[in-house]
Chains A and B, each alone.
Chain A
Amino acid sequence: MNKTIIININGIVFHIEEDAYEVLKNYMTDVKRHFLNSADSLEITTDIENRIAEMFSEMLSRENKQVIVEADVKAVIDQMGTVEDFEHADEDAVSNPRSNTYDYTGGTRSLFRDPDLRLVAGVCAGLGNYFNIAAIWFRLLFALTAFFGGLGIILYIILWIVIPRAVSRADKMAMKGQKLTLQGFKNNLEEEMSAVKGHMNDFKHEAKPFLYQLRDFISDFFYLLGRFFGTTGKLLIKILGIFILIDFFAMAIALIVCLAMALIWNSGPIDVFPFSIIDNKYFGWICISVFLALFIPVLAIILLILKAIFNTQSLSRSSAMVMLTVWLFAIGTGLYYGTKVGKGFRSSASFTQTAPLVNSSNNTYYLKLNDIKYLTGEDSTRLDIKPGFNGTINTGDEDFERNEPRNMSITIEKSDVAQPVLVQTFRAKGSSYENALFNARGTRYLFSQQDSVLKFDRKLQRISGTSWHDQEVQLTLKVPLNAVVVIDDEINSYVWGVDLYQCKEDNKRSDANWAAFKMTVNGLECKVDTLVTIQPDTLKRIK
């Protein structure tokens, strides 16, 4: 079984086997090449083609078959003679001065546009070939004259239209004034095949009318234009794609690093607020599921972009299905543990403990925030805080403070007894009452008194290893009647029910970083400093 090709020789259709076609095509290319520079080339080759067609027809009808095979073509060629035979017979023609079969033997050059060395349409390269001058000078000339009202451009376009493009090897050899020999052709026959393009009637070199040259020019022009925009457009998209790709790669790497950090370096839960919600038991699972839920779409996008830009192979159906399944599973796991974590906030519980304070010597209490705490070794072990430089730990870390919701508040009330008392109410949430209470118990609040100075920790400490369950402590400082409470600016935001700024105003000391209050029967009131207050009568006297 052989593949056949349908060819059209001057209006007659033949079915020809592929091998036979190749032989015929090569033969016709040789023949056309041979007569290329003859004035009667078209007529001669048409005659030959017609004769070949006739011989084919005869063969087909004689042998009662439908397809031309290689042997038929060979028979035809034998009868018609090869190019070598022609060459032999033509030797007489050489002696005939009127014959112009070989025009280029003397090294004369023909003007063609050179498609091999072209910048735009090869006009300058062709001119360079013709005059045997480097094309650059013509380019310069055109570029310079282009400034004279576009003369160079118009001239160039005219030349583009008028000068034919060197299509075949013969053209190119003629363009460079090389001697035209059959041997020269045969060395590069494949290259020239494009000139024939299997269409046996296509005579590009024969008295091409102006219209055809114009058509060539226009198609050339739009081809170039299209190629320019095509390539730049593609390039832009590719560059954009690469930028997006880099972003997604960065994302993927960031995700992997996060996972590694979470799983390897920090075996326990991260003690930074949004993560500290998660229970220790679920932490690993949630990490992995969140990672997969984010990583798989990122990976998918990377693969898609890669396919779009670099035409890489798309993911096989099965791998895509595996990815989708894993992703859905990750989402499911995430949701499952997410609800588990959420369940840990259903109930709430609180307990209260009262710590008696010592009466201060001057009945004044200074409320201060314990910003920097130097933990003793004992504290460190009790709270399981790893000591930092020189065994100190700075718990006044602002970032740390902002991360977790505020979990300490102070209210100041009148004490029923003659002694100040600090009531600490610990609250927390949990999956059940017991659990919530357990969570509340798992905290530690540090408070210290040094005579009149009361130092409050900024936050309630969770015992390491427990997760955040909205633990909070409500402190109620009960001071005896007439006691003076000096509230620091820093602690102000933790203290409920006092207006520090108003009190400062009242005292005309808005630049102070504290304000003093006095416990009255009605509760805490601003203590207006008598030393600063100007009596109305003294005011009159000054006037």
Chain B
Amino acid sequence: MIAENTQTQMRKGILEYCILSIIARDETYASDIIAELKKAQLLVVEGTLYPLLTRLKNNGLLTYNWVESTSGPPRKYYALSDDGRRVLEQLDTTWNELVFAVQTAVGKNN
């Protein structure tokens, strides 16, 4: 139970970081994000992404544009806001620190 909890905690943090990173590259559509996350084996189903995106958007990290689609309803294309960009920069730093910490702490076991 504790392990599970830790796992989800870790995943969650990384997931948000990855999403922000993906969006940082370009205006991105949800299914593109999904495709990348699936490839990275971070996320399995699409459904879980939408609440995350909405929450990030509501926290002011993301903005979106409606873009007309040839197949189906208009799409929401997400982009980072200025806040988002700042947060991502902080997260980048944090991530590098974490990688260093983990490598230092765990790497010795190997």
Contacts and interface: CB of A to CB of B under 8 A. Distances in A.
Interface of A: 9-12, 31, 35, 38-40, 43-44, 47-48, 50-51, 53-58, 61, 78-82, 85-86, 89-93, 95-96, 99, 101
A57 B72 contact: yes
Given A47-B30, A80-B46, A58 B72 contact: yes
Nearest to A58: B71
B51 A53 contact: no
A337 B3 CA distance: 106
Interface stretch (B7-15, B18-26, B91-99, B101-109): B7-15
A40 B73 contact: no
A14 to B, nearest CB: 10
Contacts of A101: 51
B47 A81 contact: yes
A40 B54 CA distance: 7
Given A53-B72, A57-B72, A92 B8 contact: yes
17 contacts: A38-B51, A40-B54, A44-B50, A44-B51, A50-B74, A54-B72, A56-B72, A58-B72, A80-B45, A85-B45, A89-B43, A89-B45, A89-B48, A91-B4, A93-B12, A95-B5, A96-B12
B50 A48 contact: yes
Given A38-B51, A44-B50, A91-B8, A50 B72 contact: yes
Contacts of B8: 91-92, 95
Closest 6 CB pairs of A and B: A81-B45, A54-B72, A92-B12, A81-B47, A57-B72, A89-B48
B46 A95 contact: no
A91 to B, nearest CB: 5
Contact of A86 (B9, B31, B48, B74): B48
B108 to A, nearest CB: 29
Interface residues of B, number: 27
B55 A86 contact: no
B45 to A, nearest CB: 2
A523 to B, nearest CB: 122
Contacts of A11: 73
Nearest to A59: B71
B107 to A, nearest CB: 26
Given A44-B54, A95-B9, A54 B76 contact: no
A78 to B, nearest CB: 8
Contacts of A56: 72
B5 A81 contact: no
A58 B31 CA distance: 13
Nearest to A95: B9
B85 interface: no
Contacts of A50: 72-76
B99 to A, nearest CB: 21
Contacts of B54: 40, 43-44, 47
B58 interface: yes
A321 to B, nearest CB: 62
A321 B84 CA distance: 86
B46 A40 contact: no
A76 B9 CA distance: 28
B48 to A, nearest CB: 4
A93 B55 CA distance: 11
Interface core residue of B4, B43, B73 (most chain A CB under 10 Å) = B73
Contact of A40 (B44, B51, B69): B51
A69 B50 CA distance: 25
B11 A92 contact: yes
> B47, B55, B71, B75 — which one has the most chain A CB atoms within 10 A of its CB?
B47
Most buried by A among B43, B44, B45, B69: B45
B48 A81 contact: yes
Most buried by A among B31, B44, B48, B75: B48
Contacts of B12: 92-93, 96
Given A40-B51, A81-B44, 17 more contacts: A31-B47, A43-B54, A44-B50, A48-B50, A50-B72, A50-B74, A50-B75, A54-B75, A57-B72, A79-B45, A82-B45, A85-B45, A85-B48, A86-B45, A86-B48, A91-B8, A92-B11
Given A40-B58, A80-B46, A92-B8, A10 B51 contact: no
